[in-house]
Structures are given as structure tokens and as C-alpha cells.
Amino acid sequence: MGDCSNSKLLPMCDSGEAPFDTRRYYKHIHDNVHGNIYLDKQALNFIDTEQFQRLRELKQLGLGYMVYPGAVHSRFEHSLGVYWLASDAVHRLKTYQGQELGIESFDVQTVKLAGLLHDVGHGPFSHLFEREILPRVRSGIKWSHEDMSLKMIDYIVDENSIDIDSGTLKKVKEMIVASEAGKSVSSKEKQFLYDIVANGRNGIDVDKFDYIERDTRACGLRCNFQFQRLMETMRVIDNEICYRAKEYLTIHKLFSTRADLHRTVYTHPKVKAIEFMVVDALIKANDHLEIDSYIDEPAKYWMLDDTIVKTIEASTHQDLEESRNLIRRIRRRDIYQYCNEFTVSKENLEYFKNVTAQDIICSQNSDAHLNEEDVIVTNIKIDLANGRNNPLERVSFFQDYDSFEKFHIKEDCVSQLLPTCYQDLIVRVYARDPKLVDAVTNAFENFQTKTYGEKTQVHAITEKKRRLKYNGN
């Protein structure tokens, strides 16, 4: 992606808002996903700050690049992409239904800024920081990157003296947390605008459009989902963004592609193994570096990014020796060993209780001597963005452009090839020490037999892995 500072300067119209069709924005850059992205003055006021530029040091897929070498794109690129798609979406609605919906320049600006700023509160290594690290160093804490984004936005505005209307700022922050459970907007007026960036109604939003397209490209995967079709056919009915009925399968591809990314990239066995090592390293380093203290104040938090690993690696302090050794193991690909996994059967999903390392330890053979810290168990849920339910049940459709009624579509009216279950629950086990692969694997198999009466795993551990003594490549 090109640098904003070297982009072409374009004139603005007298109203302060560049006409979308003529692309008369202040600057433009070239993005490898969306082509030319045009940035207005207000967006640049935020982009050209130290706090927003921090997003360049946060990889979008965290440690995914350790398995997919091309996955080195950042939250910075993604944020610009979401800004651009949000801008495209709201301008399309304004062009085709603007007078009917009462869309004003104020609305356009808030949607665009919500897309730009939705990830400024993200921590290091994608979602790993808030889901795996913080709960273990601060028990009972309720923290999310969305809430931190709200604090960061206020801090950026104050620290950089950005001139922005308080009403705009309030709406921007409401749009960012619109998808969070329990969050509500202050007014039902123009509720459809809250569907664009973070859609809490049905999960169809430009945030997903960008990261699905960007992540699949970076990892060298094919993406069958075409978000452009949805952008072209969306329409607001009864204060909700709806889609043409013929796009049912296009929307299904959106959710199924997201699930495929979770299975093949985000929860890839080796990616997770490396993530567990980084989690262990940062937790061991926390007493010395006080990493958890960064979340207390935005003034400190914005200095925390993926380079924390380099800080540990370059340090010679004795208190960081264990963390340093773990990071060096990653460099040598001497990683925690994936042993095996099984998928919970459909009939057992409802009553399933998360498997723990203690469950595996209690199932070890009498001649084994495993401790709880030798084993890592992860319970992975992969769904179509609506748990065990069909996400398309929440989507409203319209028949054609001459109709003014929205409706839901029953899946059996579309195809008999659609899934009958919408969630996978995978139990996966790792050994921290490669020399314990055989003992952990046997204990894991014993657990399955004791719990389900048989081994339910599909994969057989090879003799090569069972004989592994040192390296786990």
C-alpha cells in the first residue's frame, strides 16, 4: 500500500465534502485489494496521527504469517479498506434512496469515520491479546478492543486537537460498538446506518467484506464470495438494509467463506501452537514489563503493539530469560506439538462441556507422568456467525426493486444442499514438550474412549511424530 504522504493532492468542493462520483478528495492511495482509495480531510486528520499509524505495527492475522508467509498485512490497511467500503456503501444508499431516507452529509461522514476508526483499540497479535493474555494476567477483567477503540478515539481527538463535532463523534462511537451484545444506539432514527460497519442485526457488514477479501488474498486462497454483488443490490426497507432474494446463496457464501478462514487460517494447528508459545512468553514477561498496565490509559496503550516480542528478544534482563527462550524456540521452529483433535458429534453439542488439561491428565496411562502444565487443550468453535443457528434467518430480503416489503427466506425453499448443522466444535490437544507427544496422545485417546466409548478422532498420529524427541516442525 502506498504512503499517504506521497499521494496526489486533489481539490475539495466548496461544501467541504468531495463528490463521490468525481473522486475529488484530498489524497488518494493505491490499495492492493480495492485499487485507489480516496481520503477526505477529516479522515486524514485521524490517519496522520501517531496513534493511528500504530496500526501499521499490528498484523491483521497476528501470527498467521508464521504459516502463511504472505499474511503480513496490517490493521492499517484493513482500516483504510473498511473506510473505503463504508464510504461506498453510504454513498450508494444516498444516490438511490437519499431523499427518501434523509441521508445527509453528517451521516456520510459518521459512517466513513466509523469504518476508519473501528480497530484503533486493537491489541497485539489480533484477538490473542484480549482473549488469551489479559484473562490470565487480570482475572475477572471485562475488556474489549471495541471499548478501547472508543477511549482511543477520544484520546486521539484531544491529543491532536482534531476539530470534530461532538454529535459526529458520539455517532461514530455508537456505530463501532453497534454489533456488541447489550449495546444500543441512542436513537432509532436512521438505524440502517448502524448496519454498515458493525452489523449487530445479521453480521453482514463492510468490516467482513474487507477482511475476508484481504485475508484470502494474503494467504493465497481463493475467495468465491463476491461482496460487490451485495453492495450493488442492497436497499433500505423499514429502516433496515435488505438484499434481493436472488442473493441468498451469495450471502451464504459470505458466512461459509468466513468459517473456512477460521478453520484453515485463523485456527490452523501450527498457528495456534505458535500463539500458545507467545501467550506463555508474554505472561512470563508480564511481571517485569507490566504489559497489562498498558490497558489502563490510552496514553500508554497506543505504544503497545506486535513489537513487544522484539523488545523481549533483544533484552538481556534475567527476568525475561524464560520468555526470551520461548521466542527463540519459535524462531527455530521448535514449537509446541499438535497431537490430535476430534470434532464433537452433533448429538453431543448441546450438552458438551469444555475439555480441560486436567481431563487429559486424569486419563493418562499409569506409566506416564504428565503434569497439567505439559498439556494444552483448546476448544474451538467454528460457526457461520450465529452459533448453532442459520445466520440467514436474521437477514431480510426483498423480491425486486419494484417491491416495498421485506421478508425472510426458509432455507428449504432454496436448496437441500445447505448444512443441517451450523457449528463445529473441535477439541484439540498440544504438548509443550515435543518429547511428551506420545504420552499426551495416548492420554487424549483414553479420554475419548472414557467419554464417548470410542476414539472419535479422524487423524492417526504418525510413528514419526510419536518418535519425535526434539524438534516439532
pLDDT tens digit at each of 473 positions of the chain: 444 444 333 333 433 344 444 445 579 899 999 999 999 999 999 999 999 999 999 999 999 999 999 999 999 999 999 999 999 999 999 999 999 999 999 999 999 999 999 999 999 999 999 999 999 999 888 899 999 999 999 999 999 999 999 999 999 999 999 987 445 454 568 999 999 999 999 999 999 999 999 999 999 998 889 999 999 999 999 999 999 999 999 999 999 999 999 999 999 999 999 999 999 999 999 999 999 999 999 999 999 999 999 999 999 999 999 999 999 999 999 999 999 999 999 999 888 999 999 999 999 998 889 999 999 999 999 999 999 999 999 999 999 988 889 999 988 777 877 888 899 999 999 999 999 999 999 999 999 999 998 888 877 766 666 565 444 44
Q: Tell me the sheet residues that pair with 287.
A: none
Please give the CATH number for the structural domain made up of 4-219: 1.10.3210.10
Predicted pLDDT at 454: 87
Question: The C-alpha cell of 48 is what?
Answer: 496522520
Predicted pLDDT at 182: 43
Predicted pLDDT at 464: 60
Predicted pLDDT at 460: 74
Question: What type of residue is 398?
Answer: F
The answer to whether residue 317 is catalytic is: no
* End-to-end Cα, the chain, rounded Å: 32
pTM equals: 0.91
Q: Of 28, 78, 91, 145, which is the active-site residue? A: 145
How does DSSP assign 394-432, residue by residue? G--EESSTT----B---GGGT-SSS-S--EEEEEEEEES
Dihedral angle computed from the Cα positions of residues 100, 103, 104 and 110, in that order, rounded to the nearest 10 degrees: 170
Number of Cβ within a 10 Å radius of residue 223: 17
C-alpha dist (Å) from residue 349 to 261, 358, 381, 382, 419? 22, 21, 11, 12, 16
Predicted pLDDT at 368: 87
> How deeply is 342 buried, as exposed, middle or buried, from its count of CB atoms within 10 A (0-12, 13-18, 19+)?
buried
